Amino acid sequence: MTPFKLEIYTPDRLFFDGETENLIVRTTVGDKGILARHEDYVAALPIGKLKVKIDGNFKIAAISEGTIKVSRDKTVILTQSCEWAEEIDVERAKAAKAKAEERMKQAENDEKAYLLAEYKLKRAINRIETWDLK
Amino acid sequence: MKAIKRRIKSVGSTMQITKAMELVSSSKLRKAKEKAEAGRPYFEKLYEMMTEIAESKKDFDSPFTEKREAENRLFIVIAGDRGLAGGFNSNVLKMALAEAEEGKNKPKIIAIGKKSIEFFAKRGFELVGEYPLLAETAKTADCADIATLAIEMFKRGETDQVKIFYTTFVSPLVQNPISMDILPIYKEDVEEENNTLITYDPSPEAVFNRIVPKFTMSLIYCALSDSYASEQSARRNAMENATDNAEKMTEELSLKYNRARQEKITNEINEIVSGANALQ
């Protein structure tokens, strides 16, 4: 397959800058596969997984909310945070999950705190799932 | 003479402290600069994408681009947590204060840094958010909290304008306080529709509205890193000057001390000689 250029930025670093043959990403409206010479495309990304095919093998990463922009010369993903499956600190994610669940129980009347805890829970679950897939 | 000696000693120990602070700030500055630079590409890409979307459609509309009379304002003011950094804190705080007093109503304040909190609390401003001790360890999650707070207030109509004040790092010797509008997002009128045939999933507005909070967060994060680098740099300069001054002072004082000592010796010799003369 023809490779194409992919750049992934997070606020604290340039996470990935290289070539990929196939990119599978979950957008707010569903999974989307991207190959070389894809049409120009922009979408929002929820918390989810990212599959990047490099040298015939898929690498999996966990991302939390962002945007993808596909253009002729390259594809750019901007996200709050991004980690390869093998980079994930699963113990920390599990601790975060337990803590978020606890918070959600406590914050039943406080909508804002509840939503925040729910968001954190989603992120933790996503990390754990990604780690399991490695 | 004893007094001079004591002064020399105290100036010397002050010099040691300022020297140490200078070194600490230098090393912190290096880290802070790296951090500030690492965040920039993300911010720039985000900005690029945002303007591109806003310009892609003529009838583009989003709650974030809506212009309202700026009656209720919200200022995000970033200053340091500690003093001893020359004019770093007072410059940015004064700039914010000058603008705060311009409008009809006092703006609400989100204060970042202990100095900023103290400054506005003392002057009777309403603080809707206080974030002490944030700059050094700032994570994007913290900035996301601040961004959410500002955006929610804007959406609910509690504020018509969000502005940020911070100090930008120009060079190791120059740091300037600046202000920037965050919301509403300024949008140029598009004369011609930009028909680049980009597919937006699900729609340009939806993508745009999702990007704005990220953009705000990223902007705050960049401003915070920038301000922190400036603070370290300003402190380094202030401490360098203090060390130089202390050095000069010790020099002058030791000169004085030596003169006084010599004078005393001369006097003693004079006394002895005149005493011996008297005996003859």
Q: What is the pLDDT of residue A57?
A: 87
Q: Do A80 and A100 reside in the same domain of the chain?
A: no
- Give me the residue from A40, A43, A65 closest to B207, CB to CB: A43
pLDDT number for residue B16 = 92
**Candidate from A51-55, B71-75, B129-133, B194-198 with smallest mean pLDDT:** B194-198
Q: Which of A86, A102, A118 is the last residue of a domain?
A: A86
Last residue of a domain, one of A54, A69, A86: A86
Is the CB of residue B117 less than 8 Å from the CB of residue B127?
yes
Residues A56 and A113 in one domain: no
Residues A50 and A113 in one domain: no
State the ipTM, two decimals: 0.77
Same domain, A74 and A27: yes
Which residues of B sit within 8 Å Cβ distance of A?
35, 38-39, 41-43, 45-46, 49, 53, 140, 144, 196-202, 204, 206-207, 210-211, 214, 217-218, 221
Query: Is residue A82 domain-shared with residue A46, that is, in the same domain?
Result: yes
Count of pairs with CB atoms under 8 A, one residue in A, one in B: 75
Choose from A67, A73, A82 for mutation: most chain B CBs within 10 A.
A67
Are A36 and A55 part of one and the same domain? yes
Chain B CB within 8 Å of residue A13 CB: yes
Cis previous bond, B172, omega within 30? no
- Both A35 and A70 in one domain: the answer is yes
Integer CA distances (angstroms), B251 to A32, B13, B59, B256, in order: 73, 14, 72, 9
Domain count, chain A: 2
- Is the same domain home to A94 and A81? no
Residues A23, A80, single domain; the answer is yes
Going from the N-terminus, what domains does chain B have, and what CATH number goes with each?
Answer: 19-188+204-237 (3.40.1380.10)
Residues A71 and A17 in one domain: yes
| Cα–Cα distance, A98 to A95 (Å, whole number) | 5
Question: Any CB–CB contact under 8 A between A133 and chain B?
Answer: no
Q: Is the pLDDT of residue B132 over 60?
A: yes
Q: Cβ of A78 and B46 within 8 Å?
A: yes
Here the CATH number for the domain that contains residue A73 is 2.60.15.10
Average pLDDT, chain B: 86
Range of the domain at A114: 90-132
Within this chain, do residues A64 and A119 fall inside the same structural domain, yes or no? no
Tell me the pLDDT tens digit for each residue of B232-269: 999 999 999 999 999 999 999 999 999 999 999 999 99
Which pLDDT band holds residue B156 (cuts at 50, 70, 90)? Answer: confident
User: Do residue A37 and residue A81 come from a single domain?
Assistant: yes
- Judged by CB atoms closer than 8 Å, whether chains meet at B41 and A27 is answered as no
Residues of A in contact with B41 (CB under 8 A): 9, 14
More confident residue, B69 or A130: A130
Residue of A nearest to B225 (CA): A12
